[in-house]
């Protein structure tokens, strides 16, 4: 691993050129991963990554950094498992420590119906080779000694779906590591470069208009979160997406006591402890559509009270920060990846709802393959944009998150 010296730049600044082979709108983890795999696997390096903010400003810096592959549909399980495997190799591949801790992931069931749903997931997971099984309070208590497994809470814990390979990663390290690797391949990263329009002619997205001028493109990729439908509209493509904020907060650092990700769908809460000792606590999506990235008091109250149902001993812990990321929700709670039928060179990697961060390596890797070879990789075929017209939905709601 090469040492990073104080004056080394992670990525360089560039003049925006008039044309690139690929222009990617959105330089979050999905845009960066697509550029990275295009460059690394297919030698496509004349790429501009455009972002209207600084890197990590959007959903890539506003998530709870949870990785897992214990989904419900076979399509989802295969895809997220491929992503988890890519994450497992990524620190070594990038020469950059992403602080991936595979501490295990527990989805709690507090009702008979919830436990039945977890059982279905466990069985699908196991059939597809994913380490995931139902465990009961005695084992939960052993894995998480501080959780309240008694019958005192309003929703006592009946069982959990235990997924040992799941865990947490340092989200900004992923952004920086990918950006550094892209930069070293000659791929250009352009922060503070906002896409303001897309020029379309002869079924092609010919150029992306930006606040720094027009850029012609062989291929255009929309890898935005939050603004996915707005960018698609610029190209005359409509997306079945609604956008909601998702809030989370972080507490003051505590001594290490929680070595697993804890999720409760019934309580709409998820909790993990970072390497710095802070607790990251997340909520369900806001019930109304909005592009706001601010936290609200009622949601903070809800996160705190739900977390206290599980860990009552945290009652006097202070919250340091609260934030919201914005999530593009699709009708089936599965993403939209691939070329849009309306245009010959316009690809999307969007609709990531509340589960985009964990998907970035696989989405980038296989979208890169589609762009470079023109062939649709099997593993993402089910997520293609035309599935809505064909009524081939991938119903992932039950396992996509806790947050709806």
**Sites of contact with ligand PYC (CB under 6 A):** 64, 66, 68, 270, 282, 354-355, 400-401, 403
Beta carbon nearer to ligand PYC, 32 or 263: 263
71's CB contacts (< 8 A; 6+ apart) are 77, 79, 80, 121, 124, 125, 396, 399, 400
Beta carbon nearer to ligand PYC, 67 or 144: 67
Smallest distance, Å, CB 327 to ligand PYC?
Answer: 9
Smallest distance, Å, CB 147 to ligand PYC?
Answer: 18
Q: What are phi and psi of 184, to 5 degrees?
A: -70, -20
Beta carbon nearer to ligand PYC, 334 or 400: 400
User: CB 342: neighbour CB atoms within 10 A?
Assistant: 16
Chain mean position to CA 159: 26
Beta carbon nearer to ligand PYC, 223 or 400: 400
Smallest distance, Å, CB 84 to ligand PYC?
Answer: 12
Beta carbon nearer to ligand PYC, 167 or 364: 167
Backbone dihedral region of 309: left (phi > 0), alpha (psi from -120 to 50 degrees) or beta? alpha
Smallest distance, Å, CB 213 to ligand PYC?
Answer: 37
By the 8 A CB rule, do 219 and 345 touch?
Answer: yes
Chain mean position to CA 358: 5
Smallest distance, Å, CB 178 to ligand PYC?
Answer: 20
Beta strands in 330-377 (DSSP E): 336-339, 346-350
Taking the C-alpha atoms of residue 23 and residue 192, their distance in angstroms, rounded to an integer, is 15
Smallest distance, Å, CB 353 to ligand PYC?
Answer: 8
Beta carbon nearer to ligand PYC, 22 or 66: 66
149's CB contacts (< 8 A; 6+ apart) are 137, 140, 141, 156, 157
Beta carbon nearer to ligand PYC, 70 or 384: 70
Beta carbon nearer to ligand PYC, 100 or 355: 355
Smallest distance, Å, CB 31 to ligand PYC?
Answer: 20
Taking the C-alpha atoms of residue 46 and residue 322, their distance in angstroms, rounded to an integer, is 38
Beta carbon nearer to ligand PYC, 96 or 270: 270
Smallest distance, Å, CB 168 to ligand PYC?
Answer: 10
Max Cα distance, the chain (Å): 66
Beta carbon nearer to ligand PYC, 87 or 355: 355
Residue sitting closest to ligand PYC (CB) = 401
Per this entry, what is the length of the chain?
404
Smallest distance, Å, CB 185 to ligand PYC?
Answer: 30
Q: Is 66 helix (H, G, I), strand (E, B) or coil?
A: strand
User: CB 372: neighbour CB atoms within 10 A?
Assistant: 16
Q: What are phi and psi of 107, to 5 degrees?
A: -100, 115
Q: Is 157 helix (H, G, I), strand (E, B) or coil?
A: coil
Chain mean position to CA 229: 17
Nearest 5°: CA angle at 244, between 241 and 250?
140
201's CB contacts (< 8 A; 6+ apart) are none
Smallest distance, Å, CB 166 to ligand PYC?
Answer: 8
Chain mean position to CA 238: 22
Residue 163 β-bridge partners = 105
């Amino acid at each position: 691993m090469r040492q990073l010296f104080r004056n080394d730049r992670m990525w360089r600044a560039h003049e925006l050129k008039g044309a690139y082979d690929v222009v990617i709108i959105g330089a979050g983890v999905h845009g960066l991963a697509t550029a990275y795999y295009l460059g690394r696997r297919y030698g496509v390096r004349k790429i501009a990554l455009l972002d209207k903010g600084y890197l990590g400003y959007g959903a890539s810096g506003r998530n709870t950094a949870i990785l897992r592959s214990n989904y419900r549909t076979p399509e989802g399980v295969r895809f997220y498992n491929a992503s988890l495997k890519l994450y497992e190799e990524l620190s070594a591949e990038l020469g950059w420590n992403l602080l991936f801790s595979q501490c295990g992931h527990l989805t709690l069931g507090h009702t008979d119906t919830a436990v039945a749903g977890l059982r279905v997931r466990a069985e699908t997971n196991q059939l597809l080779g994913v380490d995931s099984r139902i465990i009961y309070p005695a084992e939960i208590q052993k894995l998480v000694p501080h959780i309240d497994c008694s019958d005192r809470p309003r929703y006592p814990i009946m069982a959990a779906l235990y997924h040992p390979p799941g865990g947490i990663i340092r989200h900004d390290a992923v952004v920086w590591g990918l950006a550094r690797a892209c930069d070293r391949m000659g791929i250009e990263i352009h922060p503070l470069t906002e896409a303001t329009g897309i020029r379309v002619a002869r079924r092609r997205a010919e150029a992306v208009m930006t606040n720094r001028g027009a850029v012609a493109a062989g291929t255009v990729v929309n890898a935005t979160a939050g603004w996915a439908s707005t960018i698609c509209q610029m190209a005359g493509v409509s997306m079945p997406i609604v956008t909601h904020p998702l809030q989370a907060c972080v507490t003051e650092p505590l001594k290490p006591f929680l070595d697993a990700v804890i999720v409760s769908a019934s309580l709409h809460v998820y909790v993990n402890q970072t390497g710095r000792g802070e607790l990251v606590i997340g909520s369900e999506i806001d019930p109304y559509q909005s592009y706001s990235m601010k936290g609200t008091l009622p949601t903070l109250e809800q996160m705190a009270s739900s977390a206290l149902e599980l860990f009552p001993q945290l009652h006097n812990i202070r919250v340091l920060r609260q934030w919201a990321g914005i999530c593009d929700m699709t009708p089936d709670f599965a993403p939209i990846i691939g070329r849009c039928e309306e245009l010959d060179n316009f690809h999307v990697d969007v609709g990531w709802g509340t589960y985009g961060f964990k998907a970035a390596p696989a989405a980038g890797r296989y979208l890169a393959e589609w762009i470079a070879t023109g062939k649709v990789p099997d593993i993402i075929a089910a997520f293609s944009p035309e599935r809505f017209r064909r009524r081939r939905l991938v119903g992932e709601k039950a396992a996509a998150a806790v947050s709806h």
